[in-house]
Structure 1
Amino acid sequence: MQTNHNKTALLVMDMQNGIVSRFAEHEKGVLSIQRAVEAARRHSIPVIFVRVAFSEGYPEINPQNKAFSAISKSSGMTVSDIATQIHESVKPKTDEPIVTKYRVSAFAGSNLEIVLRSRQIETLILSGIATSGVVLSTLREAADKDYALKVLSDACLDADPEVHRILTEKVFPRQADVLTVDAWINSLG
C-alpha cells in the first residue's frame, strides 16, 4: 500500500537519555531508529519526537500509579532533567516537534493530537522504546482515533525479546502494518 507522504509522520518515541541508556546492548535497534529518521527526513516525512517527563514537584503523578509513583520519590525525569532529553543518536532538528507526555501513550496528556491535526497527518509510523510500553499504548489509542498505522518492527525495542516478538507478529498486525525499516524505506520509492 503506497502512503501519501504529505499525510504521514514518523513518531520516535521515548528515545530519551534515561531510557536509551538502559538499552545499550541493543545497538542494532538504535541504528534502525536512526535509519528510519534519516529516511523520513530524505522523503520530507515529518519526524515527531515523543518523550515522557514531569513537572517539578510531580503534580502529574498519582501515588496509586505503579509505573510512575517511584519516579516522584527519586527526583528525576523532570522536563529539564538530562534523562528526559532526546538522545543524541536521533537529535531533533529545530523544526521537528518534541512532544512531552505524562503517561505511557504518546497521546496521554500531550499535545500530539493537535500537532498531528495541524499537519493533517493521517498515517503514523511508530518506532521507539519500549514495544510493550509506548509503542503498544500509542498503537491502541491511535487505532481508536482512526489513524492508519505502520510499526517498524526493528525500530522498536523491548527488554523482553519474546514480548516484542509476540506483539510485532501476533498483536500489532490486527491494527497496523508491521514491517522492517528496510521494507518501509523501499516502499517510499
Structure 2
Amino acid sequence: MNKEWKVWLKYLSWFAIISGVLWVSILVAKHYEFSNSDSAAWFQAVFSVIAIAAAIWISNTQRRTEEARHKRGQIDAVIGIAVLIARAESVIQAFSKETHGSPSPDGYHSIEVIAGRLENTDIVQYSSPIILKTALSSANQIRRYLNYLRKGFRGDNLGIEISLQKSRLRLFKFYGLSDDDLPKSVSTESN
C-alpha cells in the first residue's frame, strides 16, 4: 500500500475513534440525563484521556521518525565508506592488471585522495565504531600499499584488494547490506 494512503488511513482511524467516543459520550449523557455541569465534567474527563493518548502517540511518532533518520544516516555513511573502498579496490586492480603494479601519476594521486578521504572520516558524523574502524583500517592498508609502491615494489597488489573487499563486506554484513546497495556505477566497477 502507498505510504500516503497509510498515513491517511491512520488519521482517518483516529478521527473515527474520536468521533465514536464523542457519540458514545453524547448517548450516555442523554440516557442518564446528566445536568449541564455533570456533562461538562464527563466531556472534560473523556477528552483529557484522548489528549493524553494523542500526546503519547505524537511522542512515539517523533521518536520513531528520529530513529529512522539516524538509521538512514548510518546507512548513508556505510555506503559512502563502501564507495570509497570499492573505488580503491578498482584502482588497485587496474594497477595490477594493466601496468604490473606500477601506477600512473594520475592513478597514484587517485589512490592517495581515497586514502585521505578515508582517514578524514568525520568522527562526529559517523559515530559508529564499526564505520570508523573500517574507514581507518582501509586507509591504513592503502597507505601501506602506497609505501610499498614508493619503495619500488611492483607486480602483485600484495593482497590489498582482497583485504579491502573483506573490510567492505564485513561492514555490509554488520549493517545487513550488500553490493546491490551500492550505486550501480560503483558496484559494476569493482566486480
More helix by share: 2
Asked whether the two chains share a fold, i.e. TM above 0.5, the reply is no
TM-score (norm 2): 0.29
TM-score (norm 1): 0.29
The higher radius of gyration belongs to 2
